[in-house]
Amino acid sequence: MTPAPSPEVLQAPLIVEFPFTRSLGPVQSAFLTGLRTRTVLGVRTTDGRVLMPPVEYDPVTADELSDLVEVAPTGTVTTWAWNPAPRRGQPLDTPFAWVLVRLDGADTALLHVLDAPGPDAVRTGMRVRIRWAGERVGAITDIACFEPYDGAEGGEAVPHSGEFTDPVTGIVAPARLDYTYAPGRAQSRYLKALADHTIRGERCPSCRKVYVPPRGACPTCGVATDEQVEVGPRGTVTTFCIVNIKARNLDIEVPYVYAHIALDGAGLALHGRVGGIPYEQVRMGLRVEPVWSEDSRYPDHYRPTGEPDADYDTYKELL
């Protein structure tokens, strides 16, 4: 058995980024549209409390709620936390306090941030008011932040129709998370070998099957695959499909063939594109070999070797 080399850890940046487009129900729509016009809406529950921010169902009774009311843009801090180091995406880029604020006229609190000179200027019970964003689009960030306020207290919540011209019916919530992807031992070994134009599988110590690409475990036996086995480079097309739709950002002429290819010595087939042959001539049993484009760290595609086709019995277990 070839002892497994201790691989250096491969790592690469992985960015997961997506703009979530979300539709709003009637209550959320009214609330966010209201913010656009500097109007703060809550919703009255069937037992008379005012929830702000408003929701469509009472978290206590599960009653459906629609009785909108307007509350004041001033309120009281119910708890706070001083954040000395703002992070990406947060509302302020200078140190600030996270706060829960109960607006005058409301019975529940809104999470937002408070612009204050330092933690000594913040306390539970302090009075604050909304500082509006200059440009408002119908989003929670239309409230730029809260700021200290020593003026008069707002009154009771008053009924509001919730009707606005051109109501906001949806939001786009962009999200981005940054990762450092590390594929682990087995896949690191595979990728490093691939960079040297070698395809390496790993053998299960129990059932002796050779996995390629290896993921570190035999899914049949539930044990680590450890023995390194060089497979291919030649292999056999076990099954295939003809792709007729061009994928975005993919510079390959359609139609083309995508195939399962059982490399010689491998216990299962991997995926690859078949080129160097008219698509309609690709067939089960076709013998192929990888083609590495210059500086490529993986095979660009597989092409026919010119050998006679493999006998069905030699690959029927690998479909």
CB of 135 to another protein, least distance (A): 15
Say which entry of Zn ion, another protein, none residue 207 contacts (CB below 5 to 8 A, set by partner kind).
Zn ion
Nearest residue (CB) to Zn ion, 31 versus 190: 190
> Is residue 37 classed as helix, strand or coil in its secondary structure?
coil
Nearest residue (CB) to another protein, 190 versus 302: 190
CB of 52 to another protein, least distance (A): 8
Q: Are 313 and 319 in contact (CB under 8 A)?
A: no
Say which entry of another protein, Zn ion, none residue 248 contacts (CB below 5 to 8 A, set by partner kind).
none
CB of 219 to Zn ion, least distance (A): 8
Q: Nearest Cα to 71, choosing from 166, 125, 143?
A: 143
Nearest residue (CB) to another protein, 77 versus 261: 77
Nearest residue (CB) to another protein, 73 versus 275: 73
Site residues (vs Zn ion, CB under 5 A): 204, 206-207, 218, 220-221
Say which entry of Zn ion, another protein, none residue 167 contacts (CB below 5 to 8 A, set by partner kind).
none
Say which entry of another protein, Zn ion, none residue 315 contacts (CB below 5 to 8 A, set by partner kind).
none
Say which entry of Zn ion, another protein, none residue 298 contacts (CB below 5 to 8 A, set by partner kind).
none
Q: In what order do the strands lie in the sheet with 40-44?
A: 50-51, 40-44, 67-71, 158-159
CB of 318 to another protein, least distance (A): 15
Nearest residue (CB) to Zn ion, 67 versus 226: 226
CB of 98 to another protein, least distance (A): 5
**Identity of the residue numbered 186:** A
- For residue 7, cis peptide bond before it (omega within 30 degrees of 0): no
Nearest residue (CB) to another protein, 139 versus 284: 139
Site residues (vs another protein, CB under 8 A): 7, 9, 11, 14, 16, 20, 22, 24, 28, 32, 51-53, 55, 59-60, 78-84, 87-91, 98-100, 102, 108-113, 119, 124, 139-141, 171, 173, 175, 177-188, 215-224
Backbone angles phi, psi at 307, to 5 degrees: -70, 160
Nearest residue (CB) to Zn ion, 52 versus 204: 204
CA–CA gap between residue 128 and residue 96 (Å, rounded): 14
Relative to beta strand 270-274, strand 256-263 is antiparallel
CB of 145 to another protein, least distance (A): 10
Say which entry of another protein, Zn ion, none residue 32 contacts (CB below 5 to 8 A, set by partner kind).
another protein
Nearest residue (CB) to another protein, 218 versus 262: 218
Q: Are 214 and 47 in contact (CB under 8 A)?
A: no
Strands (E), 199-280: 200-203, 210-211, 217-218, 223-224, 227-230, 235-243, 256-263, 270-274
CB of 315 to Zn ion, least distance (A): 20
DSSP labels, 11-31: -EEEEEEEEEEEE--HHHHHH
C-beta atoms surrounding 146 within 10 Å:
28
CA 67 to chain centre: 36
Cβ within 8 Å of residue 274, ≥6 positions away: 237, 240, 256, 257, 258, 259, 261, 282, 286, 288, 301, 302, 303
**Identity of the residue numbered 189:** R
- For residue 290, cis peptide bond before it (omega within 30 degrees of 0): no
- For residue 5, cis peptide bond before it (omega within 30 degrees of 0): no
CB of 310 to Zn ion, least distance (A): 24
Say which entry of Zn ion, another protein, none residue 87 contacts (CB below 5 to 8 A, set by partner kind).
another protein
